[in-house]
Structure 1
Amino acid sequence: MSYETRWNDQRGKRPVRIANCSGYKADPGYHMKLQAELGDVDFITGDYLAEVNIAENAEAFTAGSHPGYEQTAWDGLEQTIDILAKKRTKVIINGGAQNPKGLAERTHELVTKKGHSLTVAYVEDDNFLSVMKDIRKNGLPPHLDSVNSEINFPRDTLNLLEDESRPVVSANAYLGAREIVKGLELGADIIICGRVADASPVIGAAWYWYSWSETDYDRLAGALIAGHLIECSAYVTGSNFAGFYEYDLDSLYDLVFGIAEVEKDGSCIITKHENGKGMVTEDTVKCQFLYELQGNIYLNSDVKGILDEVKVEQVGKNRVRLSGIRGAPPPPTTKLAIFYRAGYQSELLLNATGYATKEKWDLYERMLRFGLKRRGILDKFDILEVGIPAPNAPSQLASTTYLRIFAEASSPATNLGLAATMSEFSMQHFSGFHCTSDQRLALPKPYLSFYPALYPQRSLKTSVTLLRSPNNKRMTYPTTAPPKTEPLAPRETYDCREPSSLSAFGPTRAVRLGDIALARSGDKGANLNIGVFLPTALPSSLPASARPDAWSWLRSFLSVSKMKELLGEDWREAYYIERVEFAGICAVHFVVYGILGKGVSGSARLDGLGKGVADWIRDRVVEVPVRFLEVRGSGETPERPRL
């Protein structure tokens, strides 16, 4: 049976296998090829767009010095095109960034040159720069978080309206899956998108495979979360995993990326190709599920995912089932990411060695502030932070240690290879990893800032365009907004509804929170999410008999007030916290609004994307019932590695 016959005969009759090949522009093109050649998949999807990289290239693309699309997306297509033609594997990616048309045309030329019978399509109606460029005259759309009156925005949130020195450089709406589905229905094999939402390619693939209705909300919501689980490169196969230290370290790099087998009811099994390194366990899936959430509702342009009843279950080696997701109509608006030039940043990294380090840093900070005051500029900074690493630190800045890499070589190509290697593995990192933006140097350099807005879906003019051989004929097909929507509302938040008395759990011992729990954190613009849960798959995990009591303790212990306490000196009364629970995975989830400042490249925090906050919180010393520590093995607190 040919691949094409098999694909057509099996469509809708078995779970659809959807692989991911990218979670950011740095993921090399060979990951697309690996997903195609290591086993059979029906679709390969890729998310190449962090919040800021689409904006970073906007001005260069307008000036004609950048192609507008991500080079790694082209690399993947060029390396994989022969396998795609042979296996009839379809590709849906948002690597078109600011110029999906350009990447689609280049791909179509490659297909034509190779003589393959593949149809290329593109979606490009997300770019609203022309509409938003004169924002001081036309006004600013509502902020993404404006629906909740309890949220305070940073004082400089609206500074892009102040004067002409802060021009808007990009404005892109987050599109859903409708254009993708339309393109697949019309015969597209490769669909190049601009700023579709991270999970939209997976939703579109599953929607088309099963011919779902646009009101099959439970199924669409399941596909939304399946997309969320695999959208971040190797984050579900062992990268950025809080419990990494309990596994063979040599098994945790050079990883293959995840695959979602989405079933007709929208539930899924997360897996990977066996001929590749990595692991898929309940805990890696739970970590990724909790990544970059905003409470118990996950929004997309096509569906609202309701997460309260989520369940995660290991069903085989490197096979984890996720179920329990419910759906509802989407909101009438979608996210509009506006970036503008906001000013200048500087950053310096200094070192101290040996005895009396704390006093050395204290002396240096006193000297620095004295000098700035004498120059008359101490009070002219919008932000001035000085961070010194410390154990059980009361702030994330003080909890962060540094790694220095120094290299010399006779050829500059060798040093460039070091940078290329770091880029290649930039999405395969330990949990708590974050790096300083390359824009922050001792010399002031301009930076982009982020304003997340709401934009009406009814005002979008969306379509998909197919390129036909041999004359590069274009046919554009319009799409429509969702038929039904539900207004946005403040998300649910609550402390434990039936808390247990903490004293009822018996004697306690002062240990790090990470000795009993795993966690994952991330950003949503100015907001930080932190999900903390009891592990199930680690060698030192609690036995099943102890988990109900441990969950009762964790949910009673991790209140809003306790999270404020754990945040220590990083907490400000201007922030706002939402808290929910996911009982099916023994997780407590928080969103801290405003803690990342303006967010993304405009955040003043060392960890502007919040990736390391979870590991800092896990390093905080708390009182844990002794009986939960004893049932983990020896009766002694498990020793965790420290730098």
Structure 2
Amino acid sequence: MAVNGAKRPVRVADCSGANCDPGEFMFNQANNGPIDAITGDYLAEINLANNAEAYNAGKHPGYEQTALDGFRLTLELINKHKIKVVLNAGALNPAGLAKEVKKLIDEKGYDLTVAYVVGDNLMDSIDDILKESGLVPHLDELNPNIKLAKDTNNFVGNPNKPIVSANAYLGARAIKKGLDEGADLIMCGRVADASPVIGIAQWWHQWSDTDFDQLAGGLVAGHLIECSAYATGANFSGFEKYATEELENIALPIAEIHANGDCVITKHPQQNGFVTEDTIRCQLLYEIQGEHYLNSCVKADLKNISIKEISKDRVFVSGTKGLPPPPTTKLAVFYKGGYQCEMLMAATGTPESIGRKYDIHEYQIRKRLRETGQLDDFDILEFQRIGVPETNPKSQIRGTTQVRIFAQSEKQVTLYGLLKAQMYNGMQHYSGAHGSMDFRTALPKEFLTYYPGVIEQAKLQEGVHILDKIATAENFSVKKFDSGHPSKTEPLTQRVSYEPTNPVDLSSFGETISKPLGDIALARSGDKGANVNIGIFVHTDEEYDWLRSLLTSGKMKELIGDDWTPDYYLERVEFPNIKAVHFVVYGPLGRGISSTPLLDGLGKGFADYIRAKYVDIPARFLSAEKYAAGMI
């Protein structure tokens, strides 16, 4: 697959998709087979904000501890095999992580150079940025059809809603610069998830910053491996045909990136898991924005991407096209949004009786809050009914459901009023009321709200600082390098959305059977700020003609059911080479994961909800042969 005469593919192994991934994952990647580089993404959107106050108070190191654990376990192998390491783990304090890694190197006497990326943390300048330009544009503002959640942008100048973190999403420029200048291990703060992989591939193949097809291929490779085991069997809607034992101790993925940007996704054979067309299609469709996937170095056009299994646990990915990046990049601002609490109550019985019980409970609480003059002080007050009881239940728990009371208010006293209203009606409860007696979640606690803005890349001071080899970590000295800005950009435009291309008459597929969509289709979904995306795919050309003709925007709204509201907006595109239809639902998560009232705050369960909905599937797609082959 390699380009004639080009340097061999660079073999990049992922070691983390979140800060919960332990250090042994880094060790496994270095120990189980030959690799050239290790990358890891330890930062979810909320990590930085969650730790900001503790870090400023000297109660948190500012970086992700599991990354340092990985170095303690793996540094000997990194030194022995000359493995480059680029980690998105420095968080609020990449310099601090770099110093700790330097201490480990000095203790071992290894000849390794450590660096850290700077320029993403704008906390010291965010007030000036906002004073100069007012509220920075929201990431979704290009689309006039999108309605932002209530109070999304009311934090500017509000002393009750102070900003706690502000970080720009950086690309790969500083990473490549550090590698060009001799760094072996690079600690990043808030670079975009795929940027470490792009930086490694760009350095290895010496792509220029206008080699957009190649950079876009690196972006896709990074996207495919940056979510830990998501490419190798985790969070996989096709899990049912695999034994439970195969879904434990899953190997993390490896990308072999060619000089032209194409890649092979694979894994070490020593651990469980699997790399198939289906796992890679699922991961490609995870948390993307549509046909175009953005990074501050490149915009990847995914329309004609191709995914082909070439041998066991080896999947070839090609067809990505690159376009100039936007002149802006995402700016993640987190601020204190107020207070929130939640309570869980349970009821047992028939669906009709449980529904009436929860009606009574909600009526009692709201009436008491109205009487105390507090009902209108809530920003959010929801009574979410979870589950449906089993008919003729075999045990009490199988005949039991829950109601989740979720509340937010700028005033702490308002939430204490909710707890008092609950207690006021405590002995006037519905028949058989029960639940956890632990009221810690009912006590008001501060929550953070996410504002995804955009900022001009030209305003950022991106760079890399390389620790002097002869200096000790205590005697800290660095060489500073500026990494510049993109030499060519292209303004963002509203994302495309369209209905089925050349739809096929659904009646032409013959007899149908009403079955769950998941009997024929796999899917994956995830969160992006206030929004949820979902990609759904099938396996044959005929199935794809049916799927894309069935899944209009109107049909998706119908499948979403009672969860759809007029405030939401839907975008739809198609990926013909991988037989997928992709949607972005704007609005369900409100002001993001840190403050959303949804139980599924990351949108991960949305795909399985849609797959569970019944649709009329052509009978011939549901053949015994396909069941036997594990395709459905």
Please report the TM-score for the alignment, with normalisation by the length of structure 1: 0.86
Q: How many residues align?
A: 576
Tell me which moved more, 322-331 or 129-138: 129-138
- Equivalent residue, structure 1, for 2:405: none
Correspondent of 2:264 among 264, 269, 272:
269
* Alignment match of 1:233 (pick from 228, 231, 235): 228
Distance 1:64 1:80, change over 3 A: same
1:351 aligns with 2:355: no
CA distance in 2, matches of 1:379, 1:632: 59
Q: How does 1:171-186 map to 2 (within 5 A)?
A: 171-186=166-181
**Counterpart among 199, 211, 215 of residue 210 in structure 2:** 215
Superposition deviation, residue 77 in structure 1: 1.1
> Quick one: which amino acid aligns to residue 105 of structure 2?
V
Aligned counterparts of 2:171 and 2:63: Cα–Cα separation in 1: 19
What's the CA shift string for 1:113-159, capped at 9, x where partnerless? 11000000110211111111467744221111122222221121112
* Structure-to-structure mapping, 1:116-127, within 5 angstroms: 116-127=110-121
Q: Which residue of 2 aligns with 1:443?
A: 443
Q: Any conservation in 2 of the 1:12–1:209 contact (CA below 8 Å)? A: no
Superposed displacement of residue 276, structure 1: 0.8
Is contact 1:334–1:454 with CA below 8 Å preserved after alignment? yes
- Deviation readout 1:585-627 (Å, 9 max, x if unpaired): 1100001112211112021211121111111111112222222
AA matched with 1:486: E
Is 1:613 aligned to 2:617, yes or no?
Answer: no
8 Å CA contact retained: 2:523, 2:537: yes
Given the alignment, which residue of 505, 517, 520 partners 1:501? Answer: 505
* 1:324-356 deviations in Å (ceiling 9; x for gaps): 100011000011100000011111122333555
Pair 312,379 (structure 1): closer, same or farther in 2 beyond 3 Å = same
Q: Indicate if the aligned counterparts of 1:439 and 1:447 stay in contact, CA closer than 8 A.
A: no
SS class of match (1:61): helix
CA distance in 2, matches of 1:227, 1:457: 21
Alignment of 1:347-386 (within 5 A): 347-355=342-350, 356-386=353-383
Contact 2:347 / 2:401 at 8 angstroms: preserved in 1? no
Aligned to 1:95: 89
Give the corresponding residue for 1:516. 520
How does 1:418-437 map onto structure 2 within 5 Å?
A: none
Does residue 324 of structure 2 align to residue 329 of structure 1? yes
Aligned with 1:343: secondary structure? Answer: strand
Residues 329 and 634 of structure 1: CA distance in aligned 2, closer, same or farther (over 3 Å): closer
* Distance of aligned partners of 1:372 and 1:253 in 2 relative to their CA distance in 1, 3 Å threshold: farther
1:307: Cα distance to partner? 0.2
The verdict on how the C-alpha distance between 1:439 and 1:213 changes in structure 2, with shifts beyond 3 A counting, is farther
Matches within 5 A, 1:55-454: 55-133=49-127, 137-138=131-132, 139-161=134-156, 163-355=158-350, 356-390=353-387, 441-454=441-454
* SS of 1:147 mapped into structure 2: coil
* In structure 2, distance between residues paired with 1:118 and 1:501: 63
The secondary structure found in structure 1 opposite 2:572 is strand
1:560/1:193 CA distance change after superposition, 3 Å: same
The residue that corresponds to 2:428 in the other structure is: none
Which residue does 2:434 correspond to in 1? none
C-alpha change, 1:245 and 1:371, in structure 2 (3 Å) is: farther
Q: 1:565 to 1:391 in 2, by over 3 A?
A: farther
* Amino acid corresponding to residue 596 of structure 2 in structure 1: S
Q: Which residue of 2 aligns with 1:549?
A: 542
Q: Quote the offset at 1:43 in angstroms.
A: 0.4
8 A Cα contact 1:97 1:194, kept in partner: yes
Q: Deviations over 1:193-221 (max 9, x none)?
A: 10010000000011111111111100110
Which ranges of 4 or more aligned residues in structure 1 deviate by more than 6 Å?
none
TM-score by length of 2: 0.87
Q: 1:277 to 1:551 in 2, by over 3 A?
A: same
Deviation at 1:387, TM superposition (A): 2.2
Aligned partners of 1:288, 1:229: CA distance in 2, in Å?
6
Calculate percent identity across the aligned residue pairs. Answer: 53
Instruction: Report SS of the residue matched to 2:525.
Output: strand
CA distance in 2, matches of 1:439, 1:224: 45
Q: Are 2:43 and 1:31 aligned?
A: no
Q: Is residue 2:485 matched to residue 1:481?
A: yes
> Would the aligned equivalents of 2:529 and 2:593 in 1 still touch at CA under 8 Å?
yes
Asked if the contact 1:135–1:161 (Cα under 8 Å) also holds between the matched residues in 2, the reply is no
8 Å contact from structure 2 (residues 466, 480) kept in 1: yes
Q: Distance in 1 between matches of 2:260 and 2:221?
A: 12
- CA distance in structure 2 between the aligned counterparts of 1:162 and 1:176, rounded to whole angstroms: 30
Question: Partners of 2:40 and 2:387 in 1: how far apart?
Answer: 39
Aligned-partner residue type, residue 30 of structure 1: E
Contact 2:449/2:592 (8 A) holds in 1: yes
Classify the secondary structure of the residue corresponding to 1:234. helix
Q: State the secondary structure of the residue aligned to 1:241.
A: coil
The answer to whether the 8 Å contact 1:24/1:232 transfers is yes
Q: Is 1:604–2:593 an aligned residue pair?
A: no
- What is the alpha-carbon distance in structure 2 between the residues aligned to residue 596 and residue 440 of structure 1? 24
Equivalent-residue separation in structure 2 for 1:371 and 1:245 (angstroms) = 48
Mean CA deviation greater in 154-163 or 38-47:
154-163
Which of 616, 622, 626 is residue 629 of structure 1 equivalent to?
622
The aligned residue for residue 529 of structure 1 is: 533
Deviation digits for residues 264-313 of structure 1, max 9, x if unmatched?
A: 11111111100011111111111110000101000001000000001111
Residue 582 of structure 2: aligned partner: 589
- Point out the more displaced range, 375-384 or 182-191: 375-384
Q: Give CA-to-partner distance per residue, 1:76-111, whole Å, 9 cap, x none.
A: 111111110111111000100000001101111111
**Partners in 2 of 1:358 and 1:509 — Cα distance?**
31
Aligned to 1:459: 459
Cα deviation 1:469-516 (Å, max 9, x = unaligned) = 222441111111010000000011101121111122222221111111
Equivalent position SS for 2:45: coil
Distance 1:121 1:382, change over 3 A: same
CA distance in 1 between counterparts of 2:220 and 2:577 reads: 15
Q: What's the CA shift for 1:631? A: 5.8
What secondary structure does 2:25 align onto?
Answer: helix
Contact 2:130/2:136, CA 8 A, preserved across alignment: no
Q: How far 1:388 moved relative to its partner?
A: 2.2
In 2: Cα distance, 1:246 partner to 1:358 partner:
36
User: Which amino acid is the alignment partner of residue 40 of structure 1?
Assistant: P
Any gaps of 5 or more consecutive residues in structure 2? 390-399, 403-437
What secondary structure sits across from 2:71 in the alignment?
Answer: helix
Kept in 2, the 8 Å contact 1:29–1:72? The answer is yes
Task: Give the secondary-structure state (helix, strand or coil) at the position aligned to 1:108.
Answer: helix
Aligned to 1:387, what secondary structure does the other structure show?
strand
Aligned residue for 2:567? 574
User: Relative to structure 2, which stretch is displaced further, 152-161 or 557-566?
Assistant: 152-161
SS of the residue corresponding to residue 451 of structure 2 reads strand
Is this contact kept in 1: 2:216–2:320, CA < 8 A? yes
Gaps of 5+ in 1: 1-10, 393-399, 403-437, 537-546
User: Which secondary structure does the structure 2 equivalent of 1:225 belong to?
Assistant: helix
Secondary structure, counterpart of 2:602 in structure 1: coil
Matching residue's letter, 2:453: A
1:555–1:632: structure 2 CA closer, same or farther, 3 Å change rule? farther
Aligned to 1:410: none
For residues 391 and 577 of structure 1, what CA distance do their matches in structure 2 show? 28
Q: Distance in 2 between matches of 1:477 and 1:560?
A: 49
